[in-house]
Structure 1
Amino acid sequence: MRTARVSVVGLAAGALILTGCSSGGGGDAGDGVSKDDAAKQQVEYEFGDAAASKGPAEPIKGAEKGGVLKVYQRDSFAHLDPAQMYVSDEGAMSTLIHRRLTTYKRDNAGKYTVVGDLATDSGQPSKDQRTWKYTLKDGVKWEDGTPITSDDIRHTFERQFAPFISEGPVFIQQWLAGKSGTDYRKLLPDGPYKGDHLPDKTLETPDKKTIIFRFKDPQPDLPYALGMAGYAAVQKKGDTKEKYDKDPVASGPYKIESFKSGKSMKLVRNDEWDPATDSVRHAYPDSHNIQFGVSYEASTKRLISDSAENKTAVSYSNQVDASSMQSVRSDPKVKKRSLAGYQPYVGKISLNMDRLKDKKVREAIAHALPAQSLMQAFGGSGGGELAGNYLSPTVAGHTESDPYGKVKNPQGDVKKAKALLKEAGKTGMKLTFAYQNSPEWSDFSIAAKDNLTKAGFDVQLKDIVTDTYYDQIGKVKNKYDMYHSSWGADWPSASTVIPPTLDGRQVQDGASNYSHYDNPEMNKEMDRISKIKDAEKAAEEWGKLADRILKEDLPDVPLMYYKQIQLYGSKVGGAVINDVISGIDPTQLYIKK
């Protein structure tokens, strides 16, 4: 999942889904977070039964209904259609308005379980795990009061094949089709919009409450995938195709009262949501009033001040900005209102291999880039740590490899880069570097340009508005040589990192293989490893393959493993970091009386 910092996450798994931070409590401003904390996220969550999936959610001590929660967000939401959601901040917001067959339950002790959300449990698999059965709960409704039925769920998955759906996850589509890459679209090329449907041998809905998935191969991770924001339910009757992306029908505890892209959004309670059907979410505030265009620096200063409406304010994904990091660390009153931990994201520079075909040129770029400058832009050790490879320390299979010296030489090795560029005969080569128009990435782009220029490149910087950054770099025919991206595991497996970002069969507009890397030998390795049933062995093999791709082909340059620190106002209760959405959990917040 893409992180909101560059689009910028996923659920993952919740997207945007496993997008995690290790600490769920307040008080530590980041320096106390170690790789031991990151390693704790390398676990598989239990799949919950009907009892674990039964609502209402566990009460939060001291929480009461009422009040208005102010939410500061840097980036507006580019997508509201769940099928187009694959960015962490959208994933956080989606927990309030969209429900899915399964979801991730965090109890008050911090334990996570995959449970039934719209479904009665996390799923009933056949012995070979090729068939999964789900039954919808009684009393689940859309915001217009109509019941959510299996027809809606069938429609939700069939529309995932339609050509206009291009930004979200593709795991389940590929599993249903039994195809890798983009070939899954051939199963239902137009989605359900021209009268065609998936056959019962693939997806069966024998009655209004039953959904049966049938796959060609065992799919033991289906409950994880179904919990992603990208697979949340879409109302069949209310589906307006492309227009749904701006005006979706809610099924969660809140609905959209107003949305002005780039300016504001107001979420109010959805009276048709029944807490008795929901084991995860609360709806304590009367409304979430979201303001867009608030920079990290601005939101940090407002929350540090804790004045007026800032007392009842928070951000789903804005982190403490670099210039304020020390203030947060040194002021006990502010530090008490902070949350810190690892995220599963790896910040990297994607090299457009359609344009940068010479590996020596890519190596020159890799050695020149100053990873330390990126870390400093995000606040030093509180915002991240230097990355040597593609797998975050939160993901099983992570190693300490550093083939291009990004940890050993964090300021970059300009001398070596210059020599490589000269060997390639490309001194003076023009290089177009696209970056997100935010203070952090603007600062890094200047430092990167300086090093690359010294190495012999003619660097042209191109800033892109934050709200649509991923949409722009996600175009296969984009006009950029390099651009930053960040990716985190969708659930606790490198299988949700390597294939989505490096499988050459995934290259299409909106996909996350931003480098357009395509090596048939490596694609076959991905297929082989995907079939390994032993989780530990698979993790080891994914780690080896990730390092091999980095060393042999260099499609992306890893720079930083993300951490974060977030603040909240003194009148905000229930603030915890949720490892699934990689930030403060909006469903647990309340206003203190």
Structure 2
Amino acid sequence: MGSVKIRDGVALAAIVMVAAACGGHEDHALPGGGGIPQPGGTLKVVGSGDVDHLDPSSSYTVVAYNLNRTWTRQLVTYPASNDFEKAIAVVPDVAESLPEISGDGRTYTFKIRQGVRWNTKPARQVTAADFVRGLKRLANPVQPSGGISYYTQTIEGMQEFFNAFQKAPKTAAGIAHFMAANQIKGVRAVDAATLEIRLTNKASDFLNIMALPFASPAPVEYEKFVPDGPDFRQNTISLGPYQIGNYQAGRTILLVRNPSWNQEADPVRHQYVDRIQITLGQESADVVQQLLEAGLSDLSWDQPVPTSAIQRLNGDPGFHVYEGSSLNPFLVFNLQSPNNNRALADVKVRQAINYAVNKVAIAQIFGGPRLNTVVEGAIPPGSIGFDADVKPYMVPGHTGDPAKCRTMLAQAGVSGLVLQFPYRTTGNHAKVAQSIAGDLGKCGITSNLIATSPDDFYGRYLSSVAKSREGKWDIGGPGWLPDWYGNNGRSVVVPLFDGRNYTEGSTNYGAYNNPAVNALIDKALTAGTESAAAGYWKEANAMIMADAPIVPVISQNVPTFHSSRVQNAVYSPLSQQFDYTQLWLG
């Protein structure tokens, strides 16, 4: 899928103690069913682009997530498992156990696991103060975290801390001085081994937020460097089983064993291979696939399995397809467009177009039914609020019903629609646009297809308030990947459908705004339990689809491939790749 934002797969978009750090092992049932671990060797990874940021406080791509897994740790994390439901359930990491939560659901108390050490000289135990520092760094004025809103929305005083921090000098000394002189109201190191976090409201997804790499601790040494600056990138400090031995931007990343890491203090990672060599600059997915099949490399860094190779790979033990949870792509309506006498502001017109799209044809463009799941609701399978009964515009076979579309348009008193339809020229986007345009044509709707670069698609069309209001676009086909799975309404429904968030650069592209949906969002976000939140998200899902601000199309599953050397290949849904800390080489 490439080096893309976690939350938007098109736009921008772990368990069992086995081998000790000294190299010994025990015979355990492993998450990938891989047999007895064989330590040693160099895992070879090849691909195209660099990480967006090396600093975990700001890194926001799927490849960065997989890299972070090797050298950073969080209080809680996700386990390694090829069972999707297990892989999206939060488990303790640096914390000894899941936190104690106060009776009002707002105070979380974490106890730090002993034996988790920074690879400093001498090695040093991680402390609660390191986690306080890590949370503060999210709000720094030089490179604030792309996920900052998750923390400002939930942690007491985080928004005020962020606002004040933006006025601080953008130097290492200025940043360090501000962090020393200012506190986040809701975050406190009770002692070296106890961290207390107070929320503004109950939030059943708070542990999911704390499991993101953004919430990594930061050693005091990081105060010497501007966040994610060149000096930082050459002076990273590790808590995980590996440390960064060599980083050359855009060229190579070498990971070597971290001698300070202790298997007994890490319930989710292992240290089987000696080295992980990541070679960048290979822009061809076909060449990467050839290297893997020939055994010259072991894993792809960011290049997808070529669609043309999938039929040939069926039955190959190195080929796997894993469940995804995305709206990728979906069709969004510009509800602000003045075109066609503001026809798209009419819910009946949007409902009619929902019947038009042949979703199976689009699934075929992306490799067919094994690689794609047709979606009928605003929330895809694998995300909280998914409801298989929400399918108000489903057509048998998912092939579209142009006659129904024409009838509904006539009932709405609309004819001769001409829709401005920008699309990206990269990947399969042109084929998707042509397929949808053909479906709309059968309904009597003309599509004015506008070829764009990925940047222009968002910057000059979908995410531009002025261009949206001018009617420069009527429909578009973006995609969305959540930042995490399971209890993730904050990462799906909020960015796509909360009308209060509409502004320049918004991902609520069509400016959809229903106060009743917004009220359900608030109830879901402040629900005390995941089950209570799920009920509100399901209500929101049904209400959104009744309004038809989008046409959901497919959720893409993830094809992966590894060389024959790779053993115990365990998939990580959040990185969409095999977890480097689980595998060994045969």
SS in 1 for 2:197: strand
Q: Pick from 422, 435, 440 the counterpart of residue 432 of structure 1.
A: 422
Hey, what's the Cα distance between the residues in 2 that align with 1:470 and 1:119?
A: 40
Q: Any idea what the Cα deviations from partners look like across 1:248-269, whole Å, max 9, x if unmatched?
A: 7242223334455555433333
Hey, what's the Cα distance between the residues in 2 that align with 1:5 and 1:425?
A: 41
Evaluate the alpha carbon distance shift between residue 430 and residue 223 of structure 1 in structure 2; reply closer, same or farther with a 3 A threshold.
closer
Q: Which residue of 1 aligns with 2:155?
A: 176
SS in 2 for 1:83: coil
Q: Pick from 27, 37, 40 the counterpart of residue 66 of structure 1.
A: 40
Within-5 A mapping of 1:361-372? 366-367=354-355, 369-372=357-360
Q: Pick from 96, 106, 112 the counterpart of residue 120 of structure 1.
A: 96
Hey, what's the Cα distance between the residues in 2 that align with 1:132 and 1:431?
A: 47
Evaluate the alpha carbon distance shift between residue 442 and residue 91 of structure 1 in structure 2; reply closer, same or farther with a 3 A threshold.
farther
Hey, what's the Cα distance between the residues in 1 that align with 2:460 and 2:257?
A: 34
Q: Any idea what the Cα deviations from partners look like across 1:503-550, whole Å, max 9, x if unmatched?
A: 234446776544444433321221123344464453233122112112
Hey, what's the Cα distance between the residues in 2 that align with 1:521 and 1:558?
A: 21
Q: Pick from 211, 214, 231 the counterpart of residue 227 of structure 1.
A: 211
Q: Letter of the aligned partner of 1:249 in structure 2?
A: T
Q: Which residue of 1 aligns with 2:109?
A: 133
Hey, what's the Cα distance between the residues in 2 that align with 1:66 and 1:509?
A: 50
**Is the Cα contact below 8 Å between 2:17 and 2:270 reproduced in 1?**
no
Q: Which residue of 2 aligns with 1:344?
A: 325
Hey, what's the Cα distance between the residues in 1 that align with 2:54 and 2:370?
A: 31
Hey, what's the Cα distance between the residues in 1 that align with 2:184 and 2:115?
A: 26
1:456 CA drift (Å): 1.0
In the alignment, does 2:227 pair up with 1:241? Answer: yes
Q: Which residue of 2 aligns with 1:525?
A: 520
Q: Which residue of 1 aligns with 2:53?
A: 79
Within-5 A mapping of 1:318-333? 318-329=303-314, 332=315
Q: Which residue of 1 aligns with 2:171?
A: none
**Is the Cα contact below 8 Å between 1:573 and 1:590 reproduced in 2?**
yes
SS in 1 for 2:43: strand
Q: Which residue of 2 aligns with 1:359?
A: 345
Pairs aligned (count):
539
Q: Letter of the aligned partner of 2:582 in structure 1?
A: Q
Hey, what's the Cα distance between the residues in 2 that align with 1:425 and 1:321?
A: 41
Hey, what's the Cα distance between the residues in 2 that align with 1:116 and 1:142?
A: 18
**Is the Cα contact below 8 Å between 1:7 and 1:470 reproduced in 2?**
no
SS in 2 for 1:541: helix
SS in 1 for 2:522: helix
* Higher mean C-alpha deviation, range 400-409 or range 516-525: 400-409
Evaluate the alpha carbon distance shift between residue 134 and residue 328 of structure 1 in structure 2; reply closer, same or farther with a 3 A threshold.
same
Q: Pick from 389, 403, 409 the counterpart of residue 392 of structure 2.
A: 403
1:383 CA drift (Å): 0.9
SS in 1 for 2:268: coil
Within-5 A mapping of 1:278-293? 278-285=266-273, 286-293=275-282
In the alignment, does 2:561 pair up with 1:577? Answer: no
Q: Which residue of 1 aligns with 2:551?
A: 557
Hey, what's the Cα distance between the residues in 1 that align with 2:50 and 2:218?
A: 22
Q: Which residue of 2 aligns with 1:165?
A: 144
Q: Any idea what the Cα deviations from partners look like across 1:282-339, whole Å, max 9, x if unmatched?
A: 2222123243545544444443xx32414xx12356553322222122xx4x1x2222
SS in 2 for 1:84: coil
Q: Which residue of 1 aligns with 2:449?
A: 459
Q: Letter of the aligned partner of 1:241 in structure 2?
A: P
1:492 CA drift (Å): 1.9
Q: Any idea what the Cα deviations from partners look like across 1:150-197, whole Å, max 9, x if unmatched?
A: 333212212323454252263332111489xx8995576558937266
In the alignment, does 2:1 pair up with 1:7? Answer: no
Within-5 A mapping of 1:494-509? 494-496=488-490, 497-507=492-502
1:78 CA drift (Å): 2.2
Hey, what's the Cα distance between the residues in 2 that align with 1:382 and 1:83?
A: 36
Evaluate the alpha carbon distance shift between residue 64 and residue 509 of structure 1 in structure 2; reply closer, same or farther with a 3 A threshold.
farther
* Higher mean C-alpha deviation, range 239-248 or range 112-121: 239-248
**Is the Cα contact below 8 Å between 1:54 and 1:276 reproduced in 2?**
no
Evaluate the alpha carbon distance shift between residue 85 and residue 396 of structure 1 in structure 2; reply closer, same or farther with a 3 A threshold.
same
Q: Pick from 270, 273, 278 the counterpart of residue 258 of structure 2.
A: 270
Q: Which residue of 2 aligns with 1:566?
A: 560
* Higher mean C-alpha deviation, range 397-406 or range 273-282: 397-406
* Higher mean C-alpha deviation, range 561-570 or range 575-584: 575-584
Q: Which residue of 2 aligns with 1:34?
A: none
Hey, what's the Cα distance between the residues in 2 that align with 1:150 and 1:470?
A: 40
Hey, what's the Cα distance between the residues in 2 that align with 1:63 and 1:337?
A: 18
1:573 CA drift (Å): 1.0
Q: Which residue of 2 aligns with 1:42?
A: none
Higher RCO structure (Cα 8 Å, ≥6 apart): 1
SS in 1 for 2:521: helix
Q: Letter of the aligned partner of 1:237 in structure 2?
A: E
Q: Which residue of 2 aligns with 1:205?
A: 189
SS in 2 for 1:175: coil
**Is the Cα contact below 8 Å between 1:7 and 1:469 reproduced in 2?**
no
1:425 CA drift (Å): 7.0
SS in 2 for 1:256: strand
In the alignment, does 2:234 pair up with 1:255? Answer: no
1:459 CA drift (Å): 1.4
Hey, what's the Cα distance between the residues in 2 that align with 1:136 and 1:84?
A: 23
Q: Which 4+ runs in 1 deviate beyond 6 A?
A: 51-59, 107-110, 468-474
Hey, what's the Cα distance between the residues in 2 that align with 1:11 and 1:419?
A: 32
Evaluate the alpha carbon distance shift between residue 265 and residue 508 of structure 1 in structure 2; reply closer, same or farther with a 3 A threshold.
farther
Q: Any idea what the Cα deviations from partners look like across 1:328-384, whole Å, max 9, x if unmatched?
A: 22xx4x1x2222331122322344555577335755765554433431232112211
SS in 2 for 1:82: coil
In the alignment, does 2:366 pair up with 1:378? Answer: yes
CA RMSD of aligned residues (A): 4.3
SS in 2 for 1:71: strand
Hey, what's the Cα distance between the residues in 2 that align with 1:516 and 1:198?
A: 37
* Identity between Structure 1 and Structure 2 (%): 20
1:472 CA drift (Å): 9.2
Q: Letter of the aligned partner of 2:523 in structure 1?
A: R
Evaluate the alpha carbon distance shift between residue 206 and residue 183 of structure 1 in structure 2; reply closer, same or farther with a 3 A threshold.
closer
Evaluate the alpha carbon distance shift between residue 355 and residue 109 of structure 1 in structure 2; reply closer, same or farther with a 3 A threshold.
closer
Hey, what's the Cα distance between the residues in 2 that align with 1:65 and 1:446?
A: 50
Q: Letter of the aligned partner of 1:493 in structure 2?
A: N
Q: Which residue of 1 aligns with 2:127?
A: 149
Hey, what's the Cα distance between the residues in 2 that align with 1:459 and 1:205?
A: 56
1:478 CA drift (Å): 8.7
Q: Letter of the aligned partner of 2:129 in structure 1?
A: D
Hey, what's the Cα distance between the residues in 2 that align with 1:7 and 1:55?
A: 34
1:224 CA drift (Å): 2.8
Evaluate the alpha carbon distance shift between residue 427 and residue 517 of structure 1 in structure 2; reply closer, same or farther with a 3 A threshold.
closer
In the alignment, does 2:382 pair up with 1:388? Answer: no
Q: Which residue of 1 aligns with 2:539?
A: 544
Q: Letter of the aligned partner of 1:403 in structure 2?
A: P
SS in 1 for 2:556: strand
Evaluate the alpha carbon distance shift between residue 260 and residue 423 of structure 1 in structure 2; reply closer, same or farther with a 3 A threshold.
farther
TM-score (norm 2): 0.77
Evaluate the alpha carbon distance shift between residue 114 and residue 248 of structure 1 in structure 2; reply closer, same or farther with a 3 A threshold.
farther
SS in 2 for 1:487: coil
